[in-house]
Amino acid sequence: MTALKRCKACGLIINESKIKDLCPACGVPKITFEPYTERVSLNRKRLLDLHMHPIMVHIPQALISLLPLMVAGHILLPERYGIAFLHTATVLSALLPVSAAATVVSGMLDGRIRFKKITTPYLKQKMLIGGIMLLMTVGMAAIAVTSGFVGFYVPLYLGLNALCLLCQYLLGTIGVQLMFSVLPG
């Protein structure tokens, strides 16, 4: 069993053999480290250390941030380039609900592993906001696949996109509070 140490200054938990003269995270002297005992079972720790939910979150974040640029490129660039942006936006919009659904599922699994249930107040809030965002991504995909980004559909699409960004912000503000929370056992 490897000996774990925790930096008293910043909370970094690290294998004792990896500590040199300074904390690699905050730079305080090695003397500030204290012994640390893991509070969760080895199997739960292995699953949490995969970081699947935090990784999955980045896919829809990237798509939602990139899609308005694709739509703008379609509208503002000459037809030759605008068509490429149109097709790219359509394909990425179609993939968006799939990535959002994977994020919701990975979040529920992460919550179940982390807290042994998914009915805590914060997790309920995250599931509600995530579900709303998922529905909006389905709407964005439907608009992109059927409308070709013309007329009334462009502001509707961009409005849904903006609301998805708001949902991601709300999800992130809750998620960052939960990132290092784990029910012992």
Reduced to 3 states (helix: H, G, I; strand: E, B; else coil), residue 61 is helix
Token output for 134: 């998922």
Q: Rounded to whole angstroms, how far apart are CA atoms 108 and 171?
A: 13
Q: Is the pLDDT of residue 1 over 70?
A: no
Radius of gyration of the chain (CA): 21
At residue 4, what are phi and psi to the nearest 5 degrees? -100, 145
Q: In terms of residues, how long is the chain?
A: 185
Token output for 15: 């294998």
Pick from 15-19, 125-129, 158-162: least confident = 15-19
Asked if 83 and 148 count as a contact pair (C-beta separation under 8 A), the reply is: no
pLDDT number for residue 153: 94
Domain boundaries defined on the chain: 4-37, 45-178
Cα dihedral across residues 85, 86, 90, 91: positive or negative: negative
Pick from 27-31, 40-44, 85-89, 107-111: least confident = 40-44
Alpha helix stretches (DSSP H) within 24-152? 42-48, 52-76, 79-115, 121-147
Q: Is the pLDDT of residue 183 over 70?
A: yes
pLDDT tens digit sequence for 108-137: 999 999 999 999 999 999 999 999 999 999
Confidence of residue 149 (pLDDT cuts 50, 70, 90): confident
How would you label 6-45 residue by residue, b for 16+ Cβ within 10 Å and e otherwise? bbeeeebebeeeeeeeebeeeeeeeeebeebeeebeeebe
pLDDT tens digit sequence for 49-103: 899 999 999 999 999 999 999 999 999 999 999 999 999 999 999 999 999 999 9
Q: Residue 184: which of 31, 39, 57 has the closest Cα?
A: 39
Q: Rounded to whole angstroms, how far apart are CA atoms 83 and 63?
A: 19
